[in-house]
Structure 1
Amino acid sequence: MDTPARLTARGVATRERILLAAARLMYVRGVGATLLDDVLATSGTSKSQLYRHFPDRQALIEGVVDLQCAQILARERLDLARVRSFAGLQRWATALVENNALQNGAYGCVLGSMTSELAGQSERARLTIKATFDEWVDLIERALGRLRDNDELRPDADTPNIAIGLMAALQGGYVLARTAHTITPMRTALDLALGHVHQHLRSTTT
C-alpha cells in the first residue's frame, strides 16, 4: 500500500488510524453502510485530517481495499509457505475455519464481502481484489506443487484447477457460514474439497 510522500511520522500514524477504523467498520457493517462520520468518530480524527489523506469517500474505500488485500496476502504467504504435506494443507484449512468461528461465521471473508459491493462500482477496486485472489490461488497451487515434489501428490494431478476448486470451496463456505451464522457449512465445503485432493495422493491411506 502506497503512503503519500512527505508525511510526517504523526501524519503516517493518523492515516493508518483512519484506514484501520474504516476497514473494521466496512468489514462489520459493509461498505455502503459505513458513513464518513462513523469513521471520524471511531478513529478520533477531524474532517480536515481525513480529507488531507483521503480527498473523497472513494479514495478512502480504495485505501481500505489496498490495506485488506495486503493483510490477507501477507498472512497467506506465510501460512501457505508452511504447507509441504497433505496434513499441512488440512491444518491450513482448519486454521481458516477456526478463525472464522471467532465471529460465528457472521462476517465472512473480507475479499468476498468487498467484491459483492464494489465489483460493479469501482474498476480499480475490482482489479485489486482480482489480483489478490489470483495470487492467493497461485499460493495454493505452489503448496500443491510441494506436495507433488515430495512424492505425496500424483504427478498427473491438475494442480491449477485443484487450487481454484479449493478457493471456490473456501469462498463459498464463507458465504454460507455468514448466512447461517455458523461455520459448519464452511467446514463441510473445505472437507469435501480436501477430499478431492486426497483422491489425487499417491496413497489414499494418508
Structure 2
Amino acid sequence: MERALTAKGTATRQRIVEGAALLIRADGVPNVGLDDIRAATATSKSQLFHYFPAGKADLMLAVAKFEAEQVIAEQLPHLADLTSWRKWQAWRRRVIQIYDAQRQRCPLSALTAQLGAGDPATREIHANLLDRWQGYLVAGVQALKDSGEADPGVDPLVAATSILTAVTGGAGMLQATDRISYLQIALTDAIDNLRRPVPATRRKSA
C-alpha cells in the first residue's frame, strides 16, 4: 500500500520518476543505477529511499507505471476523439509514427523485462494499460456505428480488441525484426474491417 504524500512530496516523487524515465530512455535499464538517478534529479540518498523504500525495484516499478501512462498520453488527443473516418486515420498515422520512431527502444518493454513479465505488479500495469486503451477504442467504434459510418453489424468490443491486438502484435514483430510493415498492414486491415459494406447495387453501377 502506497503511503499518503503531501502535494510537495507527490511532486518530488514524480520529479524523480520522470528523471529516471528520461535516463532509462537514453541509456537503457541495465546502464542506469540509483547514483545516476540521484545525480540527474538532485536527490539525496535518504530522500530517494524515503519515496522508494525498496530502492531500485520500487523506482523501476514506478517508472513502468509512468511509461504505461505515456503510451496513452502520446496518442492523445487522437485516441480520445475517434468519431470519424478522418480521425481514425489520423490516429492510425500517429500510432505508426510513434512506433516507427521508437523501433526496438520501447521503454515499457525494457522495464517489463527487467522487472519480470510474470511479476503480478508488472501484469497489473499491463492489464490496466490495455483496459484503458481498449476503452478508448470501444468508444471510437461505437461513435462510428452511431454516425452510420461503420458496419452496423460490428461489435465494438470485438472490433476494438482486434484493433488493439493489431497494434500490440505489430509492435512486437517490429521489435523482433525492425520492420514497421507488420504494424502498418495489421492496423490498416483491422480498421478497414469496420467500414460499412458497399451495397451490391452500388458496386454494379460502379
Secondary structure, aligned partner of 2:185: helix
Partner AA of 2:85 in structure 1: F
Alignment identity in percent?
A: 26
Larger radius of gyration: 2
- Where do 1:1-206 residues align within 5 Å? 4-6=4-6, 8=8, 11-27=9-25, 31=29, 34-56=32-54, 57-76=56-75, 78-103=77-102, 105-108=103-106, 110-118=107-115, 120-198=117-195, 201-203=196-198
Q: Distance in 1 between matches of 2:84 and 2:123?
A: 33
Stretches of structure 1 lacking an aligned partner (at least 5 in a row): none
Which structure would you say has the larger RCO, counting Cα contacts within 8 Å and 6 or more residues apart? 1
Output one character per residue of 1:146-167: Cα deviation in whole Å (capped at 9) or x when no partner.
0000001122112212111111
Task: Tell me how far 1:7 sits from its aligned partner.
Answer: 5.2
How many residues align? The count is 198
**Counterparts of 2:62 and 2:126, CA distance in 1:** 12
> Which residue identity lines up with residue 46 of structure 1 in the other structure?
S
The amino acid across from 2:86 in the alignment is A
Which amino acid is 1:41 matched to? A
Distance in 1 of aligned mates of 2:75 and 2:105? 19
**Aligned equivalents of 2:116, 2:142: Cα separation in 1:** 31
> Which of 128-137 and 13-22 deviates more?
13-22
Q: Structure 1 CA distance, aligned partners of 2:190 and 2:119?
A: 32
Q: CA deviation at 1:62?
A: 2.5
Q: Secondary structure at the match of 1:87?
A: helix
Instruction: Give the CA deviation at 1:26.
Output: 3.9
Given residue 40 of structure 1, which amino acid in structure 2 is its aligned partner?
R
Give the superposition deviation at 1:143.
0.3
Instruction: Encode CA deviations 1:24-63: one digit per residue, 9 max, x unaligned.
Output: 3444555455432332233332322211211122221222
Q: Is the 8 A contact 1:115 1:129 kept in 2?
A: no
TM-score of the two chains, using structure 1 as the length reference: 0.78
Q: Distance in 2 between matches of 1:145 and 1:191?
A: 18
Which runs of no fewer than 5 residues in structure 2 stay unpaired?
Answer: none
